[in-house]
Each structure stands twice: as structure tokens, then as C-alpha cells.
Amino acid sequence: MRETAERIADGMWLKRTWYDADRVRSETVVADRNGAPSAAVCGPHRDFDLDGRLVREVLIAPGSMPLSIDEYEEARRADPRLPPPTVPPPPPEAYDAFVVAQKSDPRYTAIRRDESDRFCTERLSGGAVALAALLGRGVPVMIGERSRRQSAAILEKIRALPCKAVHAVDVESAALPGKPVVLSVESFVLELPDAPAERRVVRRTVGPWARATGYDVEEDLGQRFMFVRIK
């Protein structure tokens, strides 16, 4: 997902996310921090659908929660930097329809699939190591905060998956005083099989690991890859 930012007033930036090179997904006014946009929202947030329609506008002023249009206009009188609201605002049913479309319109499915694979491809290009090569080094591999025995059991399960390939991401060497060196890893990129039954096997196996980190297994959208973090 591409992001851009442009300064719209002293101390304010308009941060945008994009569906593609031409279509804006969302835009948010954020505060400046040391000459760059921060994560602190200080103005309106807007969501757009794939056809460019505004489907939601949340009116926010610096230091405020979402405001009614009258409250926002009062905030604008106090702070003229704030951009004007959209008149008329999008109806509530526009966002409801947008939520439904994200689950039913194949265009949104394709975007989510491509974003998932792009994320994994970026992880692979950042120095990933094939799991078979990693285990072939003859150095113990520890996963997250798991014990050596737990790590070995998880690695055996991963090796048994019907994946085309498995890569470990962000592998680090670690050693305590007086202890042998071990390799530490908690993230993997799986190249998924094509057969639906085999893909279901992968999802069932990694499900408990994903949920233990506070996430659910990513929906099967026909992705080429799956990213898994194991704590």
C-alpha cells in the first residue's frame, strides 16, 4: 500500500494511502513532527471506494474526538488551518455499502491478495534464508521465546507442511555468556501450495501460532505467500 504526504498548512500534513497510482484509498490530516508528518491525527479523515466516491468523513480537530459538523465549524473558526468539511457529507449507508463491497467485490479481493504477496516479497528481499539451508548450518534454531524443545517441535511441523518453500526472516545470532551460539527467528514466509486441500492444511497448522500473537490466519485469497510470526 503506497503512502504519500504533502504539507497543507503550518504544522499540518495531508497523508494519503492509495489503491494504485491513480486512486486514493484514504486521506488524513496529521500533525507535523520535526518537519515530517506524524501519526497524530489533527484534522478530518476520509475514506474513498475504488470508484473514487467519498464513503466516510470523520471530522476531527487538534486534540479532539470526532465532532459534529457544528462542532467542527466552531473548531475551524478557532483554527483556520483546518480544511472545510464536505458538503453535503456522505450518507451513513455509503460506508455500510463500502464494507459489504470489500467482502464481495472481486476488485477489493485482488487488491488485498496483491498487498499480502507484496508484503511477503519485501520480507524475502530483505535477507530471508531458506529454512532447509538454515537447519543445515548445524546450529540450534530458537523460535521466539520458546524453549529449545518447543522450537524443534515447531520446526518439524513447519518442515512437514506441503509448502513449495519456507523461508526464515530476520534471522539473528544470539549467545549468552558461557553458552553456545544459537540462531533466533520468529518470522517465516511460506510459499503456499496450489491445491486447496493442501492450503487448508497449512492454515490449520499455523492457525494456533497466529492467534497466539493476537491475529487470525489471513483469509485465503489465492495468495502466493503467507507470512507467519511465532512468539
Would you say the pTM of this structure is higher than 0.85?
no
Range of the domain at 137: 110-229
Query: 74 and 49, same structural domain?
Result: yes
Query: 116 and 91, same structural domain?
Result: no
Which one has a higher pLDDT value, 1 or 171? 171
Query: 116 and 198, same structural domain?
Result: yes
Query: 199 and 133, same structural domain?
Result: yes
Query: 163 and 141, same structural domain?
Result: yes
Residues whose CB falls within 8 Å of the CB of residue 211, separated by 6 or more in sequence, listed in order: 217
pLDDT for 65: 86
Task: Provide, rounded to the nearest whole percent, the portion of the chain with pLDDT above 70.
Answer: 100
For residue 55, what pLDDT band results from cuts at 50, 70 and 90?
Answer: very high
Number of domains comprising the chain: 2
pLDDT for 176: 66
Query: 145 and 60, same structural domain?
Result: no
Q: Please give the DSSP secondary-structure letter assigned to residue 80.
A: T
Average pLDDT taken over every residue of the chain: 93
Query: 208 and 117, same structural domain?
Result: yes
Which of residues 104, 135, 152 is at a domain's end?
104
- Summarised one tens digit per residue, pLDDT across range 178-207 is 778 889 999 999 999 999 999 999 999 999
Query: 133 and 223, same structural domain?
Result: yes
- Summarised one tens digit per residue, pLDDT across range 84-134 is 999 999 999 999 999 999 999 999 999 999 999 999 999 999 889 999 999
